[in-house]
Amino acid sequence: GKSGYDHFMLKEIHEQPRALRQCLRGRVGELTGEVDLGDLGDLTPRAVQFVACGTSYHAALYATQLFQQAGIPAQAFLASEYTTSTPPIGDALVVGVTQSGETADTLSALREARRRGARTLAVTNTVGSTAARECDHALYIRAGPEIGVAATKTFASQLAALNLLTLGITSVDDDREVISGLRDLPSAVQEILDDSVAREVAETYRDAESYFFIGRGLNYPVALEGALKMKEITYKHAEGFAAGELKHGPLALVTENTPVFATVTGDDEMARKTIGNVKEVEARDAPVVAVTDGESDVERYADHVLEVPDTHPRVAAVVANVQLQLVAYHTANMLGRSIDKPRNLAKSVTVE
Ligand code: M6R
């Protein structure tokens, strides 16, 4: 059942701390701080290709950055495009990111990868799924069953599992910081779950026709996912952009009627550049909602602030996404939408 929540989606949003603990349990050594993924630790790919759809593709985009930071070339493909292109395989590991393990586009991309001689790994929530059975290896995200069509806890768990995957098969200097950030992740999510700002933001902008989401680096997939969640459950136009792309076209759409959600964490060069973009939308009178850990001065340009605890950037991206899940949920709820079963959508898309 829904355990007292109005919708499975809200229940599953609130289950994220527990889902994340399950994902991490037994995989990060209590004393050593080493990541142990069993046999997967023996994989030594020279390159990694991800194939995935929808929310899982956003997780894949995030993961490419983790591998690149560890010096391993990585690319993410929309699974439905992988079969029609001819990407180089070389000695690549091809990773299918799929909650259900049954998405037709992802399964056929993985089959194509195997035909090309690649080793394959399924990152999935579902033991015994087709992806898990057909791939050479499987990494389970252990999020527990997700009933709402909108992926929420499984996205967070995918991000955690993909961090573990990177740590398990590569080694870089700041691994210890990432690991300690990951250990804090469940409580960092817990901290913001009962934040009332997401609901206030939803109330303020429930009648907007269009919502924009921007971010850079790890916060770029967060922007894409924020927009996907908003459009699928509110039925309103929402779009996510790499913050730097704004002035290459989308800025023409920005008016006082288009709230812009800007995720800015840390206070580095990337944060400063995104703040530059925030100033551009503010100058067009667009309402600005900053999703931030308060490290930079982005709050100065924001009408609302959705808080993220001060933590590792990889972890901050996960928490920022939870804030955006809450905004989408409350907006859809205020509009009376069919949140757990949005029109035209299915939980598992088994046709190409
Ligand atoms: O089961 P999968 O992860 O392969 O599903 C892929 C997409 O259909 C899925 O992530 C979809 O985009 C979400 N349900 C949207 O919330």
> Each residue of 171-210: pLDDT tens digit?
776 788 999 999 999 999 999 999 999 999 999 999 999 9
- Which of 13, 55, 141 has the most ligand 1 atoms within 8 A of CB, as the residue to mutate? 55
The predicted structure's pLDDT at residue 176:
87
Residue 293 pLDDT > 70? yes
CB burial readout 240-262, b (16+ within 10 A) else e: bbbbeebeeebbeebeeebbbbb
CB of 295 closer than 8 Å to CB of 271: yes
Going from the Cα of 58 to the center of ligand 1, the distance in angstroms, rounded, reads 10
Q: Which residue, judged by its Cα, is nearest atom 16 of ligand 1?
A: 150
Closest alpha carbon to 291 in 277, 303, 307, 276: 307
The residue to which tokens 């889902």 are assigned: 19
Residue 90 pLDDT > 80? no
Please tell me the distance from the alpha carbon of residue 189 to that of residue 23, in angstroms, as a whole number.
14
Q: Which residue, judged by its Cα, is nearest atom 10 of ligand 1?
A: 55
Mean pLDDT, residues 230-240:
98
Neighbours of 268 (CB within 10 A): 13
106 lines ligand 1 (CB under 6 A): yes
Q: If you average pLDDT over every residue of the chain, what do you get?
A: 95
CB of 180 closer than 8 Å to CB of 315: no
Q: CA 157: distance to chain centroid?
A: 9
- Which of 99, 127, 152 has the most ligand 1 atoms within 8 A of CB, as the residue to mutate? 99
Q: Is 237 left (phi over 0), alpha (psi -120 to 50) or beta?
A: beta
Neighbours of 160 (CB within 10 A): 28
Q: How confident is the model at residue 170 (pLDDT cuts 50, 70, 90)?
A: confident
Residue 60 pLDDT > 70? yes
Locate the ligand 1 atom nearest the alpha carbon of residue 57 and give its number. 10
CB of 261 closer than 8 Å to CB of 204: no
> Within 13 A of 288's CA, how many CA atoms are on the CB side?
25
Closest alpha carbon to 144 in 19, 319, 251: 19
Least confident of 75-89, 154-168, 228-242: 75-89
Q: How confident is the model at residue 347 (pLDDT cuts 50, 70, 90)?
A: very high
> Each residue of 27-42: pLDDT tens digit?
987 777 789 898 898 8
103 lines ligand 1 (CB under 6 A): yes
Going from the Cα of 35 to the center of ligand 1, the distance in angstroms, rounded, reads 27
Residue 262 — φ and ψ, nearest 5°?
-115, 120
Residue 86 burial class via C-beta count within 10 angstroms: exposed 0-12, middle 13-18, buried 19 and up: exposed
Least confident of 18-32, 233-247, 271-285, 332-346: 18-32
Better pLDDT: 245 or 85: 245
Q: What is the 3-state secondary structure (H, E, C) of 32-90?
A: CCCECCHHHHHCCCCEEEEEECHHHHHHHHHHHHHHHHCCCCEEEEEHHHHCCCCCCCC
151 lines ligand 1 (CB under 6 A): yes
- Which of 100, 158, 338, 351 has the most ligand 1 atoms within 8 A of CB, as the residue to mutate? 100
The predicted structure's pLDDT at residue 335:
98
Least confident of 49-58, 59-68, 80-89, 263-272: 80-89
286 lines ligand 1 (CB under 6 A): no
Going from the Cα of 97 to the center of ligand 1, the distance in angstroms, rounded, reads 10
Annotation says 347 is catalytic: yes
Q: Which residue, judged by its Cα, is nearest atom 6 of ligand 1?
A: 53
For residue 45, what are its two tokens?
């790919």
Neighbours of 193 (CB within 10 A): 16
Please tell me the distance from the alpha carbon of residue 153 to that of residue 143, in angstroms, as a whole number.
7
For residue 117, what are its two tokens?
């001689």
Q: Could you tell me which residues come within 8 angstroms of residue 279 by beta carbon, excluding any fewer than 6 positions away?
A: 301
Locate the ligand 1 atom nearest the alpha carbon of residue 52 and give its number. 4
CB of 123 closer than 8 Å to CB of 139: yes
Residue 86 pLDDT > 80? no
The predicted structure's pLDDT at residue 84:
77
Mean pLDDT, residues 87-111:
91
Q: Which residue, judged by its Cα, is nearest atom 8 of ligand 1?
A: 54
The predicted structure's pLDDT at residue 191:
97
> Each residue of 135-148: pLDDT tens digit?
999 999 999 999 99
Q: How confident is the model at residue 223 (pLDDT cuts 50, 70, 90)?
A: very high
CB of 16 closer than 8 Å to CB of 110: no
Going from the Cα of 52 to the center of ligand 1, the distance in angstroms, rounded, reads 8
Residue 57 pLDDT > 80? yes
Going from the Cα of 55 to the center of ligand 1, the distance in angstroms, rounded, reads 5
